[in-house]
Amino acid sequence: MTPPAPPFAGKVALVTGGSRGIGAAIVRRLANDGATVAFTYSSSPDKANDVVAAVEAAGGKALAILADSADAQAVQHAVEHTVHNLGGLDILVSNAGILLRGTVDDFTLEDFDRMLAINVRGPFVAIKAASKHLRQGGRIVTIGSVVAERSGFPGASVYSTTKSALVGMVRGLAIDFASRGITVNNVQPGPTASDMNPADGPHVDMIKALLPLGRLGSGEEIADMVAYLASPGAAFVTGSSLTIDGGYLA
């Protein structure tokens, strides 16, 4: 008996910010499920090469593309490069983001503009560039954060602002893309072990105390949610922001 094809067999995906943390977990998951995956990175080519090697060792195919999400032309090029080299585009995951902390009295306008450029304009530019290539029934997923609903700590106001913007963005874009059967959704992780929030960081015990499940999430768990939203089973889910946070907002 022939085994069933992987759920994303024949699909092409692009993940921005896919060289480490949650982004790398998403790349690996989509590739393991049969997609050919391109991903962007802005630094650490060694980590990007490690992700490609891991995907290929598991029998998949990945393509690393150098592109800073603060640079609109670089993001547009990454989309075009993906389509040209991989033959199309079915899934876009906008994951690239930065976290700069500071209270309003000492947060510089330069840092404010950079956060907006990467966390808000970057996703919009990627989606706009991908819009002319996404095939019927395609999937768009942005990676937001629970800070869109609860900042929780001093110094997170700008980061919260950028992640709140994604909530409104996906609602509007879901309507724009609906006639093509393309869904647009936002995943909002809670405290997750990553480069931004290392599992052995100095504040991890305090963070765990805020979580009813008593632990940080993993990149693989966030990738599971993304894989669901990219699957045929999520065809009726669009314009939504889905929280995966260990009960942080409960």
Per-residue pLDDT of the chain (250 residues; tens, 9 = 90+): 777 889 999 999 999 999 999 999 999 999 999 999 999 999 989 999 999 999 999 999 999 999 999 999 999 999 999 999 999 999 999 999 999 999 999 999 999 999 999 999 999 999 999 999 999 999 999 999 999 999 988 999 999 999 999 999 999 999 999 999 999 999 999 999 877 677 777 778 888 999 999 999 999 999 999 999 999 999 999 999 999 999 999 9
In residues, how long is the chain? 250
Look at residue 218 in the predicted model and tell me its pLDDT: 97
Tell the residue number behind the tokens 């560039």, with chain if given.
129
Q: Is 94 helix (H, G, I), strand (E, B) or coil?
A: strand
159 as an active site residue: the answer is yes
Domains of the chain: 12-243 (3.40.50.720)
Look at residue 194 in the predicted model and tell me its pLDDT: 79
Among the listed residues 41, 159, 228, 248, the single catalytic one is: 159
The runs of H, that is alpha helices, within the chain are: 21-32, 45-57, 72-86, 109-116, 122-131, 157-177, 204-209, 219-230
pLDDT in tens, 88-119: 999 999 999 999 999 999 999 999 999 999 99
